Chains A and B, each alone.
Chain A
Amino acid sequence: DQQVKQNSPSLSVQEGRISILNCDYTNSMFDYFLWYKKYPAEGPTFLISISSIKDKNEDGRFTVFLNKSAKHLSLHIVPSQPGDSAVYFCAASAGTSYDKVIFGPGTSLSVIP
């Protein structure tokens, strides 16, 4: 039973446009949500996070939105760049931002030049 879902396995976006990656979760105990970026044969790298007391967090080109009532979050990347092409994992945890982090299946983003 997946607690963190990413229903789009892949996404293609034109360079300069907005990329929107979606994530849904089922466990209402989650209070930290994170996005990680991963290249093949490498470990994930932290991108951005949001705690459940907020509904938006912005860091440069990356913005994460959280809708607690819908148990839904999204990552917006604008403008998208070819270097953003990677697999993006949505993740969640309860209690802390780093303990027993549960990952979604990932969305492969391709930014087309």
Chain B
Amino acid sequence: GAVVSQHPSRVICKSGTSVKIECRSLDFQATTMFWYRQFPKQSLMLMATSNEGSKATYEQGVEKDKFLINHASLTLSTLTVTSAHPEDSSFYICSAPRREKLFFGSGTQLSVL
């Protein structure tokens, strides 16, 4: 069964609104979680590392004020896409390490109209 749960699986929103995506580790604690995005027919690009109890670490070129990450507990990390625009439309995936392996959520397809 799944060890990482991601919700929602799909969201359609209007330009200018904010969207929150949740990532939960099931039956294990994750002090670190990772957020990726994937454009069609392209690779998964690491956006940021979410750290429980401290600030997230963002990859170069990723706007931290645009993509807010909150890792408030050992089982939950959230990614909020603020003031979403059509260019933010993408497939967002979270992951968490467990026993030296990386487990992924099922992803969230964001479509901004």
The finding on whether chains A and B are genuine partners in a shared complex, rather than unrelated, reads yes
Known: A41-B109, A46-B103. A89 touches B49 (CB 8 A): no
Number of interface residues of A (CB under 8 A): 24
Q: Name A45's closest neighbour in chain B (CB-CB).
A: B104
Partner pick for B43 among A34, A97, A98, A103, CB 8 A cutoff: A103
Contacts of A104 in B (CB 8 A): 43
Secondary structure of the A contact surface, majority rule: loop
Selected contact of B49 from candidates A9, A49, A97, A100, CB within 8 Å = A100
**Is the Cβ of A96 less than 8 Å from the Cβ of B100?**
yes
B75-113 CB mask vs A (1 if < 8 Å, else 0) is 000000000000000010101010011111111010000
Query: How far, in angstroms, from A42 to B108 measured CA to CA in the complex?
Result: 9
Kindly name the residue among A43, A46, A101 whose own CB sees the greatest number of chain B CB atoms within 10 A: A43
Q: Are B95 and A43 in contact (CB under 8 A)?
A: yes
Query: Chain B's interface: helix, strand, loop or mixed, by majority?
Result: strand
Q: Are A105 and B4 in contact (CB under 8 A)?
A: no
User: Contacts A44-B44, A103-B43, A105-B43: A98 and B107 contacting too (C-beta < 8 A)?
Assistant: no
- Given A44-B44, A103-B44, A98–B105 Cβ distance below 8 Å? no
Chain A positions within 8 Å of B, measured between CB atoms, are: 2, 4, 9, 34, 36, 41-46, 49, 89, 96-106
Chain B residues with CB under 8 Å of chain A are 4, 6, 9, 32, 34, 36, 41-46, 49, 91, 93, 95, 97, 100-107, 109
